[in-house]
Amino acid sequence: MVDSQKTPERYRDSGNGRYRVVIVGGGFAGLYAARKLGKDRAVDVTLVDRRNYHLFQPLLYQVATGALSPGDIAQPLRAILRRNENTRVILAEAVGLDPVARRISLNDGGTVDYDTLLVATGARHAYFGHDEWATLAPGLKTIEDATEIRRRILIAYEAAEREADPVRRAEWMTFVVVGGGPTGVELAGALGEISRDTMRRDFRSIRPADARVLLVEALDRVLPTYPENLSRSARRQLEGLGVTVRTGAKVTAIDEDGIEVAIGSDGTDRTERIPTRTVLWAAGVQASSFGRKVAEALGVEVDRSGRLPVGADLAIASHPEVMILGDLAIAKLQGGKRVPGVAPAALQEGNYAADSIRRSVLGEMPEPFRYRDRGDVAVIGRLSGVADIRWLGRFGQMSGLPAWGMWLGVHIVYLIGFANRLVVIIRWAWSFLTHGRGTRLITGEPHLPPIKRPKHL
Amino acid sequence: MVDSQKTPERYRDSGNGRYRVVIVGGGFAGLYAARKLGKDRAVDVTLVDRRNYHLFQPLLYQVATGALSPGDIAQPLRAILRRNENTRVILAEAVGLDPVARRISLNDGGTVDYDTLLVATGARHAYFGHDEWATLAPGLKTIEDATEIRRRILIAYEAAEREADPVRRAEWMTFVVVGGGPTGVELAGALGEISRDTMRRDFRSIRPADARVLLVEALDRVLPTYPENLSRSARRQLEGLGVTVRTGAKVTAIDEDGIEVAIGSDGTDRTERIPTRTVLWAAGVQASSFGRKVAEALGVEVDRSGRLPVGADLAIASHPEVMILGDLAIAKLQGGKRVPGVAPAALQEGNYAADSIRRSVLGEMPEPFRYRDRGDVAVIGRLSGVADIRWLGRFGQMSGLPAWGMWLGVHIVYLIGFANRLVVIIRWAWSFLTHGRGTRLITGEPHLPPIKRPKHL
């Protein structure tokens, strides 16, 4: 898979004798590559990110639902890499690539030259051609997304509390999550818990437990990448939290006070309108804008989501000095299977890229990327979740308490920053004991929705 | 001081037999009043706030300097008051007062009727007639203020790192804090620590320890409400952290790349320009906008900052059914001394208001407010601070370690929320051991300053 002819070109030395690795994106793939290259005196590492922190995205939905603070799941990149003296961090957005000069350009007008370029700028959710839905149904990829979703959920309860009209009140107390993958399942489960537990005694005019939470998925089951029995289990666990699961339902329209879905496997059986003021989006994949620019500059054909195909060396076939890592890549394994777009895969790709570069600098042959599938785990709520630890075979398919326990352990271990780990453990333990969520803050200027007939008397 | 003739009018019963107390503002004064009234079946309590959380303002500078997260020092008002079944919380801004109907109006168009109104909407910093300085020199009163200040501090270091021109680099690495009260001293001390400790190994082109931190105060000493020897001690401790203290320096102009101060006690000796890109404002007092509306509606003459004078019963003389609490009030004690605008005073006023209302409902005579001055404490940095515990006399005047220890203890005890206390203890312990600050996030869309000659190569 890896052509030895490419090696000299791909790992050409820089003038000062140090090999220049430029990494764009400080997510799992980029950060793990940087960490592994950070002690290597033969290379110079430059990490470019438009944010000054690494974000632990798997816990972002907990920020969106008021269980954790943004600072608990983010760590400054400079702090993580401070001891790596061969590494510098640049806070900027990469906006262009010149593959002949081997140079990227940044939004501040600066440029950086590379011998090997690692592109790990990830992907966002996609609205399937309906970009006008973005403001009506925010997705969950950044800290700003998470605090915006938190604000909308909390404002909806506040608006319901003071709304006298029962129809409008019901609209405020209906929450629709679009997309039945892990993020959608976790969001819907958390919304179910918020209405049943967290908010139970917080209001005087409404009963938060009357809230309706709907999870809408176009395919015929939730968690479609899991075995079918676990999808069924996830659905039962969600329903146990009061979540209504609508599979085979495709979103056809979203507006200020509702969402329209086409029901049925072919989407033509009938259309249903769900009146709601809060729609959250957890569907679709769309390559980052720098990813698209890289594809254009290198003349690479991308898939429908804009992702770039790479070989088993994670490099672009025509440009072996450019590696694509993480969610932005379509990496085919030797058996023809695709590497999934999940955090553990990105992390392994980052480590692989670092190893591969070090081998080449030492004149050794790079080996093809091997993905170790440790399995999947998704949490649904208190003491519930599903896990599919594939190397354990049938014994690795777990539901409820064992899956939940495994989820907790895995996320604590991979969270970066010792203080963050302790803080998250405390917030979780406290939430578990009290059914509370401590960070339910409406931040930013509070934009209260207009109400028609206020009734505070 | 309290005229018994006023009692019947002030505590008139409502139609349904329950006495209606409306509290505007969920800061220390409003929240402590609500908590104390929360178990009383004879009263109905309505707490109105435009935020959905109580903010522990004394630790806000720690959010601004990356040591704590907003969620660590804020607690949802509904969560705090959930068990008080006589209490409802309204998320809205009070915008008007009809003293004849005894009714306040809210920005959502709703109204709330009261028998007694507690106005505790606080005060903001003031720019002494230069409102155009607000965007150039942000103050520190809200969570949004704190994250904006944090963003500016971090962006300044990032900009310095990539600035090739030594003059402009020095501008980015100069931080000016205006106002030598507790907030200014704490901010300047934290900035000194950030440059010397926290950021020490984070950059490759700059030495963060080269940063200049200036504290500018118009009076002749910092912490002017403390005894003079403690002001001197605070100054020495600040200088030990590398902070330049400029007393007798009055700000005369602020623009994008500098600040002008007039030096000398009468402000006319000479003018000096300090080139800087980061000015933080910690001076002045200005009543909240609802406070001004209350004063207008009641025909009360306010002081220069817009604060309302109250009697020893904390009520407006002409309207004994309206009490003003916290920073918005000018409360004169029986000896003629003024109650200071600090958190412990607001907290005591809140408790007093609740007691006073309960006594009146029971037909008892209210007693005048007595302020227990527990003393002041300000932290400057690691192991340093000043404290003036007045009831201990000269022995209560402390500097350095004992003051620092007392500050830690007091702030942990008064912070609301058990989980928040543990989280803050962990973040502090971790920062103490590692000299780190875990929440140095640049949030919001990163607005990088334009640079003229980028040099990433």
The CATH number assigned to the domain holding A322 equals: 3.50.50.60
Q: Are A156 and A445 in contact (CB under 8 A)?
A: no
Does residue A348 share a domain with residue A389?
A: no
Q: Are A443 and B143 in contact (CB under 8 A)?
A: yes
User: A195 is written with which tokens?
Assistant: 């209405």
Q: Is residue A268 part of a domain?
A: yes
Does residue B279 share a domain with residue B144?
A: yes
- B217: pLDDT strictly greater than 60: yes
* Nearest partner of A339 among A22, A21, A5, A28, judged by Cα: A28
User: Tell me, what CATH number does B178's domain have?
Assistant: 3.50.50.100
Q: Is residue A42 part of a domain?
A: yes
Does residue B310 share a domain with residue B267?
A: no
pLDDT score for A450: 54
pLDDT score for B16: 61
The mean predicted confidence, pLDDT, of chain B is 89
Is B92 in contact with A448 (Cβ distance < 8 A)? yes
Residue window 400-429, chain B: list those with CB within 8 Å of chain A.
417-420, 422-423, 426-427
Please count the other Cβ atoms lying within 10 Å of the Cβ belonging to residue A8. Answer: 11
* A365 close to B (CB below 8 A): no
What share of chain B in percent tops pLDDT 90?
72
* B204 close to A (CB below 8 A): yes
Out of A83, A91, A143, closest to residue B158 by CB:
A91
Is A108 in contact with B457 (Cβ distance < 8 A)? no
CA-CA distance, A192 to B196, in Å (whole number)? 47
DSSP code per residue over A334-368? TTSPBPPSSHHHHHHHHHHHHHHHHHHHTTPPPPP
Checking DSSP bridges between strand A116-119 and strand A19-24, what pairing results, if any?
Answer: parallel
Q: Regarding predicted confidence, which is higher, A100 or B425?
A: A100
Q: Regarding predicted confidence, which is higher, A321 or B3?
A: A321
Distance in Å, alpha carbon of A99 to nearest chain B alpha carbon:
17
Out of A427, A446, A457, closest to residue B423 by CB:
A427
CA-CA distance, B270 to B263, in Å (whole number)? 6
End position of a domain, from candidates B313, B339, B361: B361
* Nearest partner of B138 among B155, B150, B128, judged by Cα: B150
Angle between helices A182-193 and A228-240 (to 10 degrees): 20
pLDDT score for B105: 95
Phi/psi at A336 (nearest 5 deg)?
A: 95, -10
pLDDT score for B416: 82
CA-CA distance, B144 to B438, in Å (whole number)? 18
Handedness of CA A379, A66, A30, A410 (dihedral sign): negative
Average pLDDT (A71-78) is 94
Q: Are A422 and B426 in contact (CB under 8 A)?
A: yes
Does residue A137 share a domain with residue A30?
A: no
Whole-angstrom CA distances from A185 to A48, A172, B150 are: 32, 21, 34
Out of B82, B440, B444, closest to residue A76 by CB:
B440
Does residue B197 share a domain with residue B99?
A: no
Lowest mean pLDDT among A54-58, A98-102, A381-385, B35-39: A381-385
- B449: pLDDT strictly greater than 70: no
Average pLDDT (B118-140) is 95
pLDDT score for B266: 62
Catalytic annotation present for A367: no
| Residue found by looking up tokens 């005579």 in the block | B365
End position of a domain, from candidates A361, A392, A408: A361
Distance in Å, alpha carbon of B254 to nearest chain A alpha carbon:
26
Please count the other Cβ atoms lying within 10 Å of the Cβ belonging to residue B32. Answer: 23
User: B243 is written with which tokens?
Assistant: 């902070």
* A70 close to B (CB below 8 A): yes
Q: What is the CA radius of gyration of chain B?
A: 23
CA-CA distance, A262 to A157, in Å (whole number)? 28
pLDDT score for B9: 32
* B73 close to A (CB below 8 A): no
Q: Regarding predicted confidence, which is higher, B366 or A351?
A: A351
* A15 close to B (CB below 8 A): no
pLDDT score for B111: 93
Query: For chain A, what is the total number of helices (H) and then of strands (E)?
Result: 12, 25
User: A449 is written with which tokens?
Assistant: 């929705």
Does residue B244 share a domain with residue B151?
A: yes
Whole-angstrom CA distances from B174 to A34, A90, A165, B279 are: 31, 21, 56, 9
Q: Regarding predicted confidence, which is higher, B34 or B394?
A: B34
pLDDT band per the 50, 70, 90 thresholds, residue B10: very low
pLDDT score for A429: 85
Is A71 in contact with B439 (Cβ distance < 8 A)? yes
Domain region containing A13: 4-50+92-125+286-361
Does residue A240 share a domain with residue A150?
A: yes
pLDDT band per the 50, 70, 90 thresholds, residue A127: very high
| Chain B residues touching residue A110 (CB < 8 angstroms) | 162, 451, 454-457
CA-CA distance, A438 to A424, in Å (whole number)? 11
Is B51 in contact with A92 (Cβ distance < 8 A)? no
Is A76 in contact with B203 (Cβ distance < 8 A)? no
Does residue A396 share a domain with residue A247?
A: yes
Does residue B290 share a domain with residue B263?
A: no
Angle between helices A401-414 and A418-434 (to 10 degrees): 150
Based on the number of CB atoms within 10 Å of its own CB, is B453 exposed (0-12), middle (13-18) or buried (19 or more)? exposed
Does residue A270 share a domain with residue A169?
A: yes
* Nearest partner of B137 among B38, B283, B338, judged by Cα: B283
Which residues does A393 contact at the CB level (< 8 Å), separation at least 6?
none
* Nearest partner of B139 among B282, B257, B289, B285, judged by Cα: B282
Residue type, A387: A
Is B110 in contact with A50 (Cβ distance < 8 A)? no
Out of B79, B201, B420, closest to residue A82 by CB:
B201
Lowest mean pLDDT among A256-265, B59-68, B101-110: A256-265
Out of A109, A438, A444, closest to residue B144 by CB:
A444
Q: Are A206 and A213 in contact (CB under 8 A)?
A: no
Q: Are A302 and A295 in contact (CB under 8 A)?
A: yes
Does residue A321 share a domain with residue A389?
A: no
CA-CA distance, B234 to B223, in Å (whole number)? 8
DSSP code per residue over B337-370? PBPPSSHHHHHHHHHHHHHHHHHHHTTPPPPPP-
ipTM for the predicted complex: 0.87
* A72 close to B (CB below 8 A): yes
Distance in Å, alpha carbon of B407 to nearest chain A alpha carbon:
22
Q: Chain B interface, mutation test: which of A22, A439, A445, A457, most B Cβ atoms within 10 Å?
A: A439
| Chain A residues touching residue B95 (CB < 8 angstroms) | none
CA-CA distance, A410 to A339, in Å (whole number)? 20
Distance in Å, alpha carbon of A243 to nearest chain B alpha carbon:
24
Is B456 in contact with A90 (Cβ distance < 8 A)? yes
Out of B46, B76, B438, closest to residue A420 by CB:
B438
Render pLDDT for B327-361 as a digit per residue (tens, 0 to 9). Answer: 999 998 777 788 999 999 999 999 999 999 999 88
CB pairs below 8 Å between A and B: how many? 182
* Nearest partner of A385 among A397, A401, A409, judged by Cα: A401
Q: What is the CA radius of gyration of chain A?
A: 23
Average pLDDT (A353-359) is 95
- B12: pLDDT strictly greater than 80: no
pLDDT score for B447: 56
* Nearest partner of B208 among B243, B173, B240, judged by Cα: B173
Whole-angstrom CA distances from A24 to A274, A348, B143, B144 are: 41, 17, 31, 30
pLDDT band per the 50, 70, 90 thresholds, residue A454: very low
Q: Is residue A354 part of a domain?
A: yes
Residue window 297-356, chain A: list those with CB within 8 Å of chain B.
none
Average pLDDT (B317-323) is 96
Render pLDDT for A273-308 as a digit per residue (tens, 0 to 9). Answer: 999 999 999 999 999 999 999 999 999 999 999 999
The mean predicted confidence, pLDDT, of chain A is 89
Render pLDDT for A148-185 as a digit per residue (tens, 0 to 9). Answer: 999 999 999 999 998 889 999 999 999 999 999 999 99
Q: Is residue B409 part of a domain?
A: no
**Distance from chain centroid for Cα A59:** 9
Q: Is residue A167 part of a domain?
A: yes
Q: Regarding predicted confidence, which is higher, B145 or B436?
A: B145
Angle between helices B418-434 and A418-434 (to 10 degrees): 170
Is B70 in contact with A441 (Cβ distance < 8 A)? yes
Q: Is residue A456 part of a domain?
A: no
Does residue A117 share a domain with residue A18?
A: yes
CA-CA distance, A183 to A61, in Å (whole number)? 7
User: A412 is written with which tokens?
Assistant: 């604590």
Active site residues of B: 186
| Chain B residues touching residue A82 (CB < 8 angstroms) | 201-202
Q: Is residue B233 part of a domain?
A: yes
* Nearest partner of A82 among B437, B192, B175, judged by Cα: B437
pLDDT score for B268: 63
End position of a domain, from candidates B283, B299, B319: B283
Distance in Å, alpha carbon of A71 to nearest chain B alpha carbon:
5
| Chain B residues touching residue A203 (CB < 8 angstroms) | 78
pLDDT score for B392: 83
Number of structural domains (chain B) is 2
Nearest residue of A to residue B114, measured between CA atoms: A457
Is A438 in contact with B112 (Cβ distance < 8 A)? no
For residue B300, the 8-state DSSP code is P
pLDDT score for A16: 61
Render pLDDT for B221-233 as a digit per residue (tens, 0 to 9). Answer: 999 999 999 999 9
pLDDT score for A427: 86
Based on the number of CB atoms within 10 Å of its own CB, is B83 exposed (0-12), middle (13-18) or buried (19 or more)? exposed
Helix (H, G, I), strand (E, B) or coil at B149: helix
| Chain B residues touching residue A451 (CB < 8 angstroms) | 108-110
Nearest residue of A to residue B206, measured between CA atoms: A88
Is B70 in contact with A69 (Cβ distance < 8 A)? yes
CA atoms within 13 A on the CB side of A186: 22
- A364: pLDDT strictly greater than 60: yes
Lowest mean pLDDT among A191-200, B11-20, B286-295: B11-20
Average pLDDT (B424-438) is 84
